[in-house]
């Protein structure tokens, strides 16, 4: 495919409710969409970076800078035989996986349309539906949290993940566990603890959790290996698994027993697929993480979640949990059995609502191959 046009758009989208994690509260999202046109086909990707560098170092602003100054010029006018060639094309750009992933994933959407296949099938995924969980933000008190969990369980979700931070952890999670003794329950610390908190974190061992996600430093693997050896609860690494290499280090050191794969964090479908194979070969369960995505990012997450290593319910949930009006059609729906049906249409499998995207856009820029060098 020959890349003719790249369009970058920033959308402002307000979440239905504020989402609180150990690193802050988010409600107003600044979402960057990448549209790539090649051979007359349009492909879409979403930058999953936050508004602030609080989850990892990337932001909406850094991704705009990296895509416009460094990635677009490398890709425009080039002929790309497969999206798997893309990582090598941008290897000279250090880091910025979320910026790279948005562009690479748009190429995957095009490649799937080229082959007349749903993206899930092009990636090698076999599932017709995927299992869904939810990630619940920190609440004002344990009672409010229990009420929210009850609501989500009634919606069919198969796994509940609770955000925690020091001072709002064991008491909250215990309340949920007492109210729902048998559900799949996990917690996510988003790097709010240190190795000195090991004895405190050990209290979670009594709560029969599926996992504790990234309790320690965002960029660490080694300290997690020391913590994992002291805990019965499985550690799941999120923030610090930025690549295949990071995952092999974590597996070799015994730093975790579960990994969550986020397309943005690892740089796109090519790396995500390699990671899924690595984890599968070590019998390490994986699941798809979420970054409060719009429908475009969500559609990519659904496709990735059909790969065989994704054996645990992911943080991929219904559009209506996040948005009044999602930018894809139909929006993402979850069945009463807590599953999402994998679309059968080619490419992303959803149509993109261009009018809505235009009305939500606050800035856009485009680069066209014909104007290069003129
Ligand atoms: O750590 O998984 C995380 C949202 C923003 C940043 C980091 C995380 C999250 C979530 C939300 O947990 C998952 C979702 O519902 O998209
Ligand atoms: Mg997490």
- Burial of 4: CB neighbours in 10 Å, binned 0-12, 13-18, 19+: middle
Q: In which element (H, E) is residue 86 found? A: helix 86-89
Mean pLDDT value of segment 274-285: 98
Positions marked catalytic: 163, 262
Record the pTM.
0.97
DSSP for residue 202:
G
CATH 3.30.390.10 segments of the chain: 3-116+354-368
**Domain covering 3-116+354-368, topology:** Enolase-like; domain 1 (3.30.390)
- Burial of 326: CB neighbours in 10 Å, binned 0-12, 13-18, 19+: buried
Select from 118, 163, 167, 141 the least CA-distant residue to 303.
Answer: 118
Looking at ligand 1, which residue's alpha carbon is closest to its atom 8? 291
In percent, how much of the chain has pLDDT > 90?
Answer: 99
Q: Which tokens go with 64?
A: 């705009």
Looking at ligand 1, which residue's alpha carbon is closest to its atom 14? 290
Average pLDDT, the chain: 97
How far is it, in rounded angstroms, from Cα 277 to Cα 42?
29
The pLDDT assigned to 371 comes to 52
Ligand 1 contacts (CB < 6 A) are 55, 135, 188, 190, 238, 289-292, 315
**DSSP string over 169-181:** SHHHHHHHHHH-T
Which atom of ligand 1 approaches the CA of 163 most closely?
A: 12
Mean pLDDT value of segment 104-116: 98
Q: Which tokens go with 251?
A: 């597996």
> Is the CATH code 3.40.1010.10 the one for domain 121-351?
no
- The CA 257 to ligand 2 mean position distance, Å, reads 15
CATH 3.20.20.120 segments of the chain: 121-351
User: Distance between the two ends of the chain, CA-based, in angstroms?
Assistant: 22
Residue range 134-187, pLDDT digits in tens: 999 999 999 999 999 999 999 999 999 999 999 999 999 999 999 999 999 999
Ligand nearest to the CA of 211: 2
Mean pLDDT value of segment 304-317: 98
Which atom of ligand 1 approaches the CA of 161 most closely?
A: 12
């Amino acid at each position: 495919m020959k890349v003719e046009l790249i369009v970058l758009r920033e959308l402002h989208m307000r979440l239905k409710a504020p989402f609180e994690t150990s690193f802050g509260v988010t409600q107003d999202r600044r979402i960057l969409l990448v549209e790539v046109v090649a051979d007359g086909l349009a492909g879409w990707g979403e930058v999953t970076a936050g508004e602030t560098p609080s989850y990892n170092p990337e932001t909406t602003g850094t991704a705009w800078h990296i895509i416009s100054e460094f990635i677009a010029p490398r890709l425009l006018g080039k002929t790309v035989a497969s999206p798997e060639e893309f990582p090598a094309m941008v290897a000279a750009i250090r880091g910025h996986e979320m910026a790279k992933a948005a562009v690479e994933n748009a190429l995957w959407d095009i490649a799937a349309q080229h082959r007349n296949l749903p993206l899930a099938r092009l990636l090698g995924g076999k599932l017709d539906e995927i299992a869904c969980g939810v990630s619940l933000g920190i609440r004002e008190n344990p009672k409010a949290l229990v009420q929210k969990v009850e609501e989500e369980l009634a919606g069919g979700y198969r796994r509940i993940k609770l955000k925690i931070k020091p001072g709002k952890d064991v008491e909250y999670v215990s309340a949920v566990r007492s109210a729902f003794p048998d559900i799949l329950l996990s917690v996510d610390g988003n790097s709010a603890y240190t190795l000195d908190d090991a004895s405190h974190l050990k209290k979670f061992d009594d709560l029969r959790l599926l996992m504790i996600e990234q309790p320690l430093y965002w960029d660490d693997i080694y300290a997690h290996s020391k913590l994992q050896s002291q805990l019965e609860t499985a550690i799941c690494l999120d923030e610090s698994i930025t690549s295949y290499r990071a995952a092999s280090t974590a597996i070799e050191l015994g730093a975790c027993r579960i990994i969550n794969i986020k397309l943005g964090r690892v740089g796109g479908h090519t790396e995500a697929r390699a990671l899924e194979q690595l984890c599968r070969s070590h019998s390490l369960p994986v699941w798809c993480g979420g970054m409060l995505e719009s429908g475009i990012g969500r559609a990519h997450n659904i496709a990735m979640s059909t790969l065989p290593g994704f054996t645990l319910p992911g943080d991929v949930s219904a559009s209506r949990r996040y948005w009044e009006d999602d930018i894809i059609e139909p929006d993402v729906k979850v069945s009463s059995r807590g599953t999402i049906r994998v679309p059968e249409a080619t490419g992303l499998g959803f149509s993109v609502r261009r009018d809505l995207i235009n009305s939500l856009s606050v800035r856009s820029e485009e680069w066209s191959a014909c104007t290069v060098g003129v």
